[in-house]
Structure 1
Amino acid sequence: MPLVSVPRSRPRPPTGTRPRIRLRLCLVALLGASCLGGLLHAPVAGAADGDSGGERALRAQLRDLVDTPGGPPGVIVVLQRDGAPRVLRAGVADLETGRPIEPADHMRIASTAKAFSGAVALRLVQEGVLGLDSTLGRTLPRVPRAWRKVTLRQLLNHTSGLPDYSEAPEFVELLLADPRRTFDPRRLLDFVADEPLRFRPGSQYRYSNSDNIAVALMAEAVTHWPYEDLLERIVYRPLGLRDTSLPLGYEMPEPYMHGYAVEPPEPPEDVSEALSASGVWASGGIVSTPRDMTRFIRGYAAGRLTSEAVVREQRRWIEGASEPAGPGRNRAGLGIFRYDTRCGTVLGHTGNFPGYTQLIAATPDGRKSLTFSLTTQVNKTLTPALVERLRTIEENAVCVLLRGDRR
């Protein structure tokens, strides 16, 4: 039986020929491994008029990143202070056409989708429909007995101890058999329903994809609304997100930045539509654009979707890093991370998925923001050196954004 049941229509089944993908590497992307390697050379957008010295240096670093072994075919950075956004980019959105990346290009936002589930949950806390101490057992009576005392707070800051469904052998086997398989997202936790907690809830930090699936199920259970509709009401509409959605299939809306796996000596392989988003759902299935993600993080980091009291609870920081780790020192809050860099503090989230790596961040008042998107996956498992290089560039981008602001 599913842990919770909410009526909804199902998408049409996938059609056409399944693309060739390197499953051994790319599939474990869902578990934290990496699809990288090789040297990519791609055209670079020229410097814009009015670049500061810091922006010129950052553009050069982005060009070098594209040319690095294992580097992305394309990268886009959107910096916004109080005025119009500044767009820095290198490489291309599509290796076949050579088209440059645009802020309106769609992309898979990976685990930055966890910030969206955080936004939904915290709004429901403000409305009194949920509490941070609401338990899985009271909200979802069908959960395993061992999980019943886990609270919403522990799910949001990854101290729940829930086993990660994306590591379950049966889940991995099904995904290997059909990467475009449409899972029932409301049954993803069933893959680990017979497993005990990994540790006593609240006793330690461990990043888990199961946490945000559970958050979405709790939100559905108390509102009797599908999670997709809650996103529309609570997040998309208030923040003016016009190009953001949570699909269940594998197809990407046009235009989109193509995501690639690179495994020399083979040429880069387009994996943009290789996997169904249903297997990650509230934990990482959202599709958006750099433009919408900029709007989101400016509002979310500033607490515009909820109350000051709830924001204070959200910002009770504990030790814990996002995946991949963001710039500087990482600490975890409720559906958000704090990144303390040499130039100041920003709040946000990172994410990685086959073909994509993401960082969104903003100052606590939301007035200065950064959206940083790569068209390949970078994480600590197979390319630790590249992760550290990326974190350095991300920190440099934060410094350009803040211009020495140490608030």
Structure 2
Amino acid sequence: MRISPDSLLRRSATAALTAVLASVFVACGSAGNENGSTETNSAEPQAPTQSSDSVDVDKITDIVTNQLAALDLSAAVFGVWQGDEQLVLGAVGESPIGVPATPNMQLRVGQPMEPMLSTVLLQLGDDGTLSLDEPIARWVPDFPRADQITPRMLANSTSGISDYVTNPDFLKAFYANPIEGFTAQEIFDLANSRPPLFEPGTSFGYSHSDLCLLGVVLERASGEPLGELLKKRVFTPLGMSESNLMLTPQMADPALHGYTNERGVFEDSTFWNPTAFLNSGNMNSTVSDVGRWVRALGTGELLPDSVFQEMMAPETAGLGPLTAERFFAFGTAHLGSWLFMNPSFGGYNGVALYDTESKTTIVIYATLGPTSNADTNNTVPIASAIGALLLPDNPPKLS
């Protein structure tokens, strides 16, 4: 299969986000069984017991199982919560192939890590460690236009820095050896080898480069490694004991194996180096921990009320294709009342959703099969169907 910048763009975190916005604007914890919830964990899942009078959780598992077959996916792990009540936590398919998947498998988190960076940024802004609107020249003086770019712009993808993920030189190096990985400086060199997209703060252009640079700014402003910042300020307060920032291809057992055909052959991509998306998704976790994070994000659990309101505000509306109803800010896409994250990397596809009105959380990660379409995020139709089942009057509009 021919590899092109556009094909990787569609597989990256840029992909589904851009597609969702474009469709409107023309334009990545151990399994629990609490609160009477259901857990399934076989290639042919057992029928779950009812955990809510108003939700038929059997249908949630049926949606995942049927879509797994229709899309030729190898395995999926998933969880659904209403408030803090876990409705279902399950796994279907096989991972590794031939072994039933289980809900407690480690996975590559991807984009849900991005609003974690924004949460830490807002915390540091609130305690006076930095200012969201001070030029980043204080911490990265040699970065081009550092005297014009602010941390807020990095968090909102309004800096204009070119996205290194779409750079043909990145694609060539990545696909030649996806295990090797990248340093921050190598990523910055790739980003700055192409002209800026626009003047800082004047438009919107989702860019992994922004998130990589934001992570470096957070480290230098706080004097702490990013992994320690996330552990201290996010993982530990939320009890996310199965979550870790990764700078190597390592994954703990049991691992949800990534599979992909994007290099022209069906292969195990579990150990592709996550630093290809440094600071924008190089984190391992479980579906339970991701669900815990998404609920905390949606309720502002880690932020003072005034700061949380700032995080949720449509401050980017009017930039590029963004509106007050469909916008991207502080690492999260807002689609009406739904918060949307769409991780996709090296055979892992995922969606994390949170409805701010009903406090419904949906998290699903899946891995590709031999004939899966690697040019799309295959979990989007699954999450959409679950959302429509749970909230037929306010389904997530992801396409």
Question: Normalising by structure 2, what TM-score?
Answer: 0.78
Q: What secondary structure does 1:362 align onto?
A: strand
Q: What secondary structure does 2:245 align onto?
A: coil
Q: What is the aligned counterpart of 1:352 among 344, 357, 361?
A: 344
Letter of the aligned partner of 1:351 in structure 2? P
1:336 is aligned to: 332
Are 2:393 and 1:397 equivalent residues in the alignment? no
Q: What is the aligned counterpart of 2:267 among 269, 272, 278?
A: 269
Unaligned runs of 5+ in 2: 13-41, 320-324
Q: What secondary structure does 2:73 align onto?
A: coil
1:31 is aligned to: 9
1:38 is aligned to: none
Distance 1:72 1:123 in 2: 39
Q: What secondary structure does 1:314 align onto?
A: helix
2:97 is aligned to: 96
Displacement after TM superposition at 1:241 (Å): 1.0
1:67 is aligned to: 69
Task: Give matches, 1:362-373, under 5 Å.
Answer: 362-364=354-356, 367-373=359-365
How many residue pairs align between the two structures? 355
Distance 2:4 2:194 in 1: 26
Instruction: Render the CA deviation track for 1:266-321: whole Å, top value 9, x for unaligned.
Output: 6x432111x21122121121111001111111112211212222222212224599
Assess, with a 3 A threshold, how the Cα gap between structure 1 residues 187 and 226 changes in structure 2: closer, same or farther. Answer: farther
Displacement after TM superposition at 1:331 (Å): 2.3
Assess, with a 3 A threshold, how the Cα gap between structure 1 residues 89 and 28 changes in structure 2: closer, same or farther. Answer: farther
Are 2:267 and 1:278 equivalent residues in the alignment? no
Instruction: Render the CA deviation track for 1:338-396: whole Å, top value 9, x for unaligned.
Output: 233xxxx232422111111122232438953221211239xxx9646x75xx5443233
1:206 is aligned to: 205
1:184 is aligned to: 183
Displacement after TM superposition at 1:210 (Å): 0.4
Displacement after TM superposition at 1:191 (Å): 2.2
Distance 1:123 1:44 in 2: 44
**Identical aligned residues as a percent:** 23
Unaligned runs of 5+ in 1: 1-21, 35-41, 322-328
Distance 1:382 1:165 in 2: 20
Instruction: Render the CA deviation track for 1:124-170: whole Å, top value 9, x for unaligned.
Output: 111121222122223321111x3431222221121211011223344
Letter of the aligned partner of 2:338 in structure 1? V
2:32 is aligned to: none
Letter of the aligned partner of 2:344 in structure 1? N
Displacement after TM superposition at 1:174 (Å): 2.9
Distance 2:262 2:199 in 1: 40
Task: Give matches, 1:121-160, under 5 Å.
Answer: 121-144=121-144, 146-160=145-159
Letter of the aligned partner of 2:387 in structure 1? V
Displacement after TM superposition at 1:83 (Å): 5.2
Assess, with a 3 A threshold, how the Cα gap between structure 1 residues 320 and 338 changes in structure 2: closer, same or farther. Answer: farther
- Give yes or no for contact 1:105–1:256 (8 Å, CA) kept in 2: yes
Assess, with a 3 A threshold, how the Cα gap between structure 1 residues 135 and 66 changes in structure 2: closer, same or farther. Answer: same
Assess, with a 3 A threshold, how the Cα gap between structure 1 residues 92 and 334 changes in structure 2: closer, same or farther. Answer: same
Displacement after TM superposition at 1:84 (Å): 4.1
Displacement after TM superposition at 1:77 (Å): 2.2
Q: What secondary structure does 1:230 align onto?
A: helix
1:288 is aligned to: 285
2:60 is aligned to: 58
Instruction: Render the CA deviation track for 1:37-61: whole Å, top value 9, x for unaligned.
Output: xxxxx93313212166653333332
Letter of the aligned partner of 1:256 in structure 2? A
Letter of the aligned partner of 1:244 in structure 2? S
1:6 is aligned to: none
Letter of the aligned partner of 1:100 in structure 2? A
1:120 is aligned to: 120
Distance 2:229 2:171 in 1: 29
Displacement after TM superposition at 1:264 (Å): 12
2:308 is aligned to: 311
Distance 1:320 1:296 in 2: 29
1:361 is aligned to: 353
1:219 is aligned to: 218
Instruction: Render the CA deviation track for 1:16-35: whole Å, top value 9, x for unaligned.
Output: xxxxxx8x55998753348x
2:23 is aligned to: none
Distance 1:26 1:294 in 2: 33
Distance 1:235 1:229 in 2: 10
Distance 1:219 1:366 in 2: 33
Q: What secondary structure does 1:331 align onto?
A: strand
CA RMSD of aligned residues (A): 3.2
Instruction: Render the CA deviation track for 1:67-92: whole Å, top value 9, x for unaligned.
Output: 124x3212222111245423354632
Q: What secondary structure does 2:279 align onto?
A: helix
- Give yes or no for contact 1:205–1:320 (8 Å, CA) kept in 2: no
2:86 is aligned to: 85
1:245 is aligned to: 244
Are 2:53 and 1:47 equivalent residues in the alignment? no
